[in-house]
Structure formats: C-alpha cells, structure tokens
C-alpha cells in the first residue's frame, strides 16, 4: 500500500500544539502535548480537546484561533499528523 493511500485512513497519535504569551504561562509550557488524537481532527474538535486536557486555558479559548502550517484554520479545517499546529490567543495592541 502506498503512503498516500495509508495517509487517507484515520490514525491515532500524539500532537504538539505551540502556545504563546499568557496562554503559555497559564499552561506552564510553550508546547501543549495531546495524546490519543484521532487524525484527521478538525480545528474545532482540537479546541475542545485542549479545553479538556488543559482546563486552565479553557476561559481563553473562545478568543483564540488555531493555525495550521502557518495559516489560520476554520473550525472545520482538518489537521493531519505531522502538521505544525499553534494556538494563537487574543492579541491586543495600539
């Protein structure tokens, strides 16, 4: 079976999510580690998984976005194993 064919099948694995600023301080790390993720996972489902795994971040997630491979993702955007994923919190400035 080719790797292209096998990558279309769901798989389970770990996912690291980069996190910055106040959210990193709340989590105590700059990289969230999530286990037993079923790939592909949507950005919306990932936000829910982050809230379950890191409850200290739950209150900030409604003003956060997921970026996948350096581009903001919609809630339905699929995340594949190996994608670079970041949680980007509310950014204020003047």
Sequence ranges of the domains in the chain: 10-88
At 73 the pLDDT is 98
CATH number of 10-88: 3.10.20.30
Q: Which long-range contacts (CB under 8 A, 24 or more apart) does 25-29 make?
A: 26/54, 26/56, 26/57, 26/60, 27/54, 27/56, 27/57
Instruction: For residue range 22-47, list pLDDT tens digits in order.
Output: 999 999 999 999 999 999 999 999 99
Residue 16 has pLDDT above 80, yes or no: yes
CA dist 42 and 38 (Å) reads: 10
Residue 4 has pLDDT above 70, yes or no: no
pTM of the model as a whole: 0.86
Residue 61 has pLDDT above 50, yes or no: yes
């Amino acid at each position: 079976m080719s790797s292209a064919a096998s990558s279309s099948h769901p798989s389970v694995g770990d996912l690291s999510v980069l996190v910055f600023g106040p959210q990193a301080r709340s989590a105590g790390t700059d990289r969230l580690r999530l286990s037993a993720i079923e790939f592909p996972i949507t950005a919306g489902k990932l936000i829910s998984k982050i809230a379950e795994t890191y409850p200290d971040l739950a209150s900030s997630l409604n003003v956060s976005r997921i970026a996948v491979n350096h581009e903001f993702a919609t809630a339905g955007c699929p995340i594949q194993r190996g994608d670079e994923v970041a949680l980007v919190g509310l950014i204020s400035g003047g």
